[in-house]
Structure 1
Amino acid sequence: MLKSIFCIIIFYLFSFNTPVFAQFSAKWGDQGNGTFHNPVLPSDFSDLDAIRVGDDFYAISSTLQVSPGMAVLHSKDLVNWKVISHVVNDLTRINQELNWNKMNSYGKGVWAGSIRYYKGKYWVYFGTPEDGFFMCSAKNPAGPWEPLHQVWKVQGWDDCCSFLDDDGQLYFIATNFEEDKINHKKYNIHLFKMTPDGKSLIMESDKIIHQSQGSEANKLYKINGMYYHYFSEVNKEGRVIMMERAKSLSGPWQITQLNHVNKKLDKEPNQGGLIQLKNGSWWFFTHHGTGDWEGRAASLLPITWIDGWPIMGKVGNGTIGTMLWSAPKPIIRKEHKLTNQTYDSFSGTTLSPDWEWNYQPRASKWSLKERKGYLRLHAFQPINPKDSTDILMRAGNTITQRSLRTQKCEVVVKLDISQMKNGQQAGLTHFSTTSIANIGIKQLGDTRSLVFTYKNIETVGPKISHKVIWLKSTWNYEGINQYEYSLNGKDYISFGGQSQMTWGSYRGDRIGIYNYNLHQEEGYIDVDFMRYLFVR
């Protein structure tokens, strides 16, 4: 009883007294006292959808050009999340432009989708702006996922969701964001029936159910006999959350706006999923539509039902929701889950799902088997190796993780560089399409030198004769990064200036390990471990 009273008091204190700049606090996630602070995932988990199955919660997040694609997350309390798998193992099944030898699809690739559970399987649908819609299913969300199936090859569509009605009929909703040739309107939201296997659309069933500027983020629900269509649109405030409802999918639809945008913060909720808990309460797991250097972070908002409408966050004037930055946890559990791995010794037979390659990797050029307990990265030439501008954007087999935004983060990698060859460069990087900063080793002839590169300006440091080197990246809440190196794993020396992490092409900063050779396919490095430490 005392714990419940405490949580209620904390809820109201945070709801009404938290200043508008609370978003800029470095606090996040589970606070260890029965409350949480938004965001619950302070890194790039964009285009979320989420469901509850029994006592477990599952979510998906778009991944654009990184591989494997479409991250699948698991939680027991909606606050602590863990990446458990990916839906798409081979991005070339979508488009060859997503392969290591093309690498020209930044901002494209795997966009928003939906996850649902029916017929004993988890069903994921998603779209790409140039290749249409795809689906995949699995009996276990941790995988394996069935081979990817193309539902409809089409361009100019996005933000799809599947829906199974009570009579067993499957539906598919999505936005056509290109101009309608007949009505000369953009952002038409279409509803289709699907075949029973969920692999094809019944084209003659196509019906436009809504049209407004920027309308996207579609989700369909049936709650207490009423159909609810969740979406977002752009009005004079900015991007706002909308909902329409009807007694039948054929309409007529009532429509309302569910939230206001705080223009000072410019961090509005957008894509997300409505979830009902076993106790009957409702929550909204969402990304923030505007990205900073960390990308589009994920937050959790309580839902208050008013006159049959789900209001997300704090209920304001006119029963409109506003962003809520702290609240009691929806479920109190004893165990405390981390959001990502803190140490990887590469001792397994497969990579941790926290790792994602920049584009589909060249399979023959990396291995966990050639040297047990190490990730071996073989060097090969980047695309257009004579062009030194932003070369990492064209260097295959860069392996990455998301960069967290918190009080302090530190990543250390230990590299065996004894087998590097002439023309090879390898090391640690932070990158987006608008900013790249690296620290690593550059070999010319038989000479290896420490090198720091930022904004295409290279600073060459001391010669390195050691066979092993430790590289460290430390960054703060503002995304200011400083690199260091060590030759014994204990004493670290700063090298290179500070760099600012940035956002670009709908993607937040990534930290990664790179390895390429400008001259030839020769040389390799062995990654002994990666240690990722962060403060909540």
Structure 2
Amino acid sequence: MTHGTYRNPVLNADWSDPDVVRVGDDFYLTASSFGRAPGLPLLHSRDLVHWTLVGHALERLEPEDEFASPRHDRGVWAPSIRHHDDRFWIFWGDPDQGVFQVNAPEIRGPWTAPHLVKEGKGLIDPCPLWDDETGEAYLVHAWARSRAGANNRLTGHRMHPDGTTLLDEGKVIVDGDRIPGWFTLEGPKLYRHDGWFWILAPAGGVETGWQGAFRSRGFFGPYEERIVLEQKDTDVNGPHQGGWVRTPAGEDWFLHFQQRGAYGRVVHLQPMRWSEAGWPVIGDEGAPVAVHRRPDLPPQPPAAPATDDDFPGGRYGRQWQWAANPQGGWATQHSADGLRLTCVRSAGHRDLRELPNVLTQRLPGTPCLAEVGLRLDGTVPGARAGLAVLGDAFGWIGLERVADGTVRLVHRFAEAAAVTERDAEHPRPATEGQARLRIEIGPGARCRFAADTGDGFRPSGPVFTATPWRWVGALLGLFAVAPEGPGHAGAAAFTRFRVDPL
């Protein structure tokens, strides 16, 4: 990247379904978090290019029982973030429950408990609008065919200005079935501009579609449409849903995602202007840009969401999320550095895709080396802990206690359709009960595993290609587990987690 320009993607990891808002000189972004906890990540920037993770708006998902186990394709879908009446507001759709919102006086909280605004199956991608011209409030949302039996349409409601209830039964305000060639219309973002109601929404599918713009003089329509961003001759497939934001200097920008397989949904920043006919023109005359002039904003030092962690005092950083709602005692705080995870006893010694007590973070979108130190203090045979790459298929390398009380290094994997994991390498002794674990993640998310048990790093097993889950990119994970049984099974200590570029 040269001085004065930026290169896409600006967030090169799985920050799915981004939306953005400006408050003063600050920009804030949130994204889908599905079934992981905490949810609703909150990112901050002052130049729209460099972002840091400053917290989460949702500590736990509800109902508790539903999210006590991993639900990678459920939970928080496609949130919208707005600032109104001196408060931040986030609305999202849970496809099995309905439209929720939380709000807070400051981005770091305290955030309210989730409030169900509209109950129902298949209600997704909600976005509110408080109309400063009339004092009225509105909400638009899309539909998930998997739950509602239909999609490709947007429904609009009048909303109480306090954001708690809807004031009507709703009306289909854009029907994609009536627009030739349009399908899977979703992800609407609602705005007021130049006397028009605007809806920016993608269609055509996550990997193959385009970004549309709709405008109407009245909220309930009729709307006219244009395609305002599409792949054309670029390598940016999609490009999919996102949000429009205006800088203090009056520049317009659009943040959207691109689906990249195991890397998930990475975020691009596009310039935006208005044509003489009053329509938004995004990117380079409707095509995504790879490199562009930076926004006219004060220069900022390079920054990105954290990946490394020394786990000071046994605490883990904001970049980590549990695979499900956490229970007390999974991680133990203490006076020294290092993460101490309890070897949670698990019925049937389930594979990692089913375990809630896996601490995860996003797989970086560029080649990198992930490394962590591990000492296994788990005392029962079968206690194990390790470093994993998780998706529909998964692979992990770590330590396991065997029947004679010794510890061995193990490397295992499971294909997407497999119900049990298999050895990727013959186990070998780890006489000190500790190891340094490494995963080299190369182009195409091809992963090479290695470990140092005291005699230097040695490669382990064949190349493993990371895979996404449904809607979710692959994840890096730390875990500790033990077979079902009585009593405490001990713990595992992780130290100095690092992700370095290759």
If the length of structure 2 is used for normalisation, what is the TM-score? 0.91
Aligned to 1:440: 398
Which of residues 244, 247, 267 is equivalent to 1:298?
Answer: 267
Give the CA deviation at 1:350. Answer: 5.0
Output the CA distance in 1 between the equivalents of 2:462 and 2:479. Answer: 20
Show the counterpart of 1:152.
118
Between the aligned partners of 1:493 and 1:256, the Cα distance in structure 2 is: 56
- Cα distance, 1:94 vs structure 2: 4.1
Cα distance, 1:60 vs. partner?
Answer: 0.5
Q: Does 1:380 align with 2:344?
A: yes
The answer for the alignment partner of 1:168 in structure 2 is: 135
In structure 2, relative to structure 1, the CA distance for the partners of 1:263 and 1:443 (3 Å cut) is farther
Shift of 1:262: 3.8
1:517-532 to 2 correspondence within 5 Å?
Answer: 517-520=482-485, 521-532=488-499
Asked whether 1:124 is paired with 2:85, we answer no
Contact 1:418 1:468 in 2 (8 A): no
Structure 2: distance between partners of 1:363 and 1:180: 33
TM-superposed deviation, 1:527: 1.8
Match of 1:480 among 441, 446, 456: 446
Instruction: Report the 3-state secondary structure (helix = DSSP H, G, I; strand = E; otherwise coil) of the residue aligned with 2:121.
Output: coil
The residue number in structure 2 matching 1:10 is: none
Offset, 1:178: 4.2
Residue 138 of structure 1 pairs with residue 104 of structure 2? yes
SS at match of 2:229: coil
Conserved 8 A contact 2:314-2:332 = no
Which residue in the other structure is 2:171 paired with?
207
For the residues of structure 1 that align with 2:289 and 2:85, how far apart are their CA atoms? 36
Picking from 84, 98, 116, the partner of 2:67 is: 98
Deviates more, 1:133-142 or 1:237-246: 237-246
Distance 1:364 1:342 in 2: 24
Secondary structure of residue in 1 paired with 2:204: strand
2:330 paired with 1:365: yes
Amino acid in the other structure paired with 2:108: A
Q: CA deviation at 1:191?
A: 1.0
- Measured after TM superposition, the shift of residue 354 of structure 1 is 0.7
- Distance in 2 of aligned mates of 1:348 and 1:73: 24
Tell whether the 8 Å contact from 2:314 to 2:338 is kept in structure 1 after alignment. Answer: no
- The question of whether the paired residues in 2 share the 8 Å contact of 1:410 and 1:475 is answered with yes
Q: Distance in 2 between matches of 1:439 and 1:349?
A: 22
Note the alpha carbon deviations across 1:101-155, whole angstroms, 9 max, x for none.
Answer: x33x231111111000011110000011101111101112123322121212210
Closer, same or farther in 2 for the Cα pair 1:240/1:451, shift >3 Å? same
- For residues 167 and 337 of structure 2, the distance between their equivalents in structure 1, rounded to whole angstroms, comes to 50
Aligned pairs (5 A) from 1:129-528: 129-166=95-132, 167-178=134-145, 186-204=151-169, 206-212=170-176, 213-234=183-204, 238-262=208-232, 265=235, 267-288=237-258, 290-306=259-275, 307-315=277-285, 321-331=286-296, 333-347=298-312, 351-369=316-334, 371-385=335-349, 391-406=351-366, 408-432=367-391, 434-445=392-403, 446-455=405-414, 456-458=421-423, 459-487=425-453, 491-520=456-485, 521-528=488-495
Matched residue type, 1:423? G
Instruction: Tell me how far 1:420 sits from its aligned partner.
Output: 4.1
Question: 2:343, 2:378 within 8 Å by CA — same for their partners in 1?
Answer: no
5+ residue gaps, structure 2: 177-182, 415-420
Amino acid of the structure 2 residue aligned with 1:90: R
Quickly say closer, same or farther: Cα 1:125–1:349, change in 2 above 3 A. farther
Q: CA separation in 2, counterparts of 1:350 and 1:423? A: 26
Go from structure 1 to structure 2 and tell me whether the alpha carbon gap of 1:120 and 1:332 turns closer, same or farther (over 3 Å shift).
closer
Offset at residue 273 of structure 1 (A): 0.5
Q: Distance in 2 between matches of 1:311 and 1:250?
A: 24
How far residue 96 of structure 1 moved from its aligned partner, in angstroms, is 2.2
Q: What is the CA–CA distance in structure 1 between the aligned matches of 2:25 and 2:185, rounded to whole Å? A: 33
Secondary structure at the aligned position of 2:110 is classed as coil
The one-letter code matched in structure 1 to 2:20 is A
Give 1:444 deviation, angstroms.
1.4
8 Å CA contact retained: 2:156, 2:220? no
Unaligned 5+ residue runs, structure 1? Answer: 1-30, 316-320
Pair 130,246 (structure 1): closer, same or farther in 2 beyond 3 Å: same
Mapped contact 2:348–2:484 kept (Cα < 8 A): no
- Letter of the structure 1 residue corresponding to residue 114 of structure 2: L
- 2:32 corresponds to which residue? 62
- Once the two structures are superposed, residues 369-421 of structure 1 have per-residue CA deviations (whole angstroms, 9 ceiling, x without a partner) of 3x532321111233543x6xxx0012231101111121x31122112223443
Q: Which letter does structure 1 place at the counterpart of 2:331?
A: W
Q: Secondary structure at the match of 2:135?
A: coil
Is contact 1:381–1:519 with CA below 8 Å preserved after alignment? yes
Question: Do 2:255 and 2:268's aligned partners in 1 also have CA atoms closer than 8 Å?
Answer: yes
- Structure 1 residues 109 and 384: CA distance shift in structure 2, 3 A: farther
Contact kept? 1:135, 1:149, Cα under 8 Å? yes
Match of 1:18 in 2: none
Partner residue of 2:77 out of 93, 103, 111 = 111
Please provide the CA RMSD for this pair.
Answer: 2.3
Following superposition, the deviation at residue 228 of structure 1 comes to 0.7
- 1:333 CA displacement: 4.7
Q: Is the 8 A contact 1:449 1:460 kept in 2?
A: no
How far apart, CA to CA, are the structure 1 residues paired with 2:213 and 2:122? 23
Q: Match for 1:40: what amino acid?
A: V
Secondary structure at the counterpart of residue 345 of structure 2: coil
What is the CA deviation profile of residues 283-336 of structure 1, one whole-angstrom value per residue up to 9, with x for unaligned ones?
101111x33110011100001211211111111xxxxx1121111111465542
1:426 alignment partner AA: A
- Rounded to whole Å, the distance in 2 between the matches of 1:259 and 1:62 is 22
SS at structure 2 position matched to 1:478: helix
Q: Distance in 1 between matches of 2:498 and 2:444?
A: 21
Is 1:35 matched with 2:5? yes
Q: Deviations over 1:456-514 (max 9, x none)?
A: 321332211214321112212321111222245x9322222221111221111111111
User: Residues of 2 paired with 1:61 and 1:238: CA distance?
Assistant: 21
- Name the TM-score, length of structure 1 as normaliser: 0.85
Identity %: 26
SS at match of 2:66: helix
Other structure's SS at 1:481 match = strand
Question: Counterparts of 1:58 and 1:348 in 2: how far apart (Å)?
Answer: 29
Equivalent-residue separation in structure 1 for 2:102 and 2:21 (angstroms): 16
Output the CA distance in 2 between the equivalents of 1:397 and 1:155: 28
The alpha carbon displacement at 1:230 in A equals 1.3
The 1:423/1:480 distance shift into structure 2, 3 A limit, reads same
**Is the Cα–Cα contact under 8 Å of residues 314 and 336 in structure 2 kept in the other structure?**
no
Secondary structure in structure 1 of the residue aligned to 2:352: helix
Specify the SS of the correspondent of 1:428. strand
Q: Please say if residues 242 and 257 of structure 2, whose CA atoms lie closer than 8 Å, have aligned partners that are also in contact.
A: yes
Amino acid at match of 2:52: K
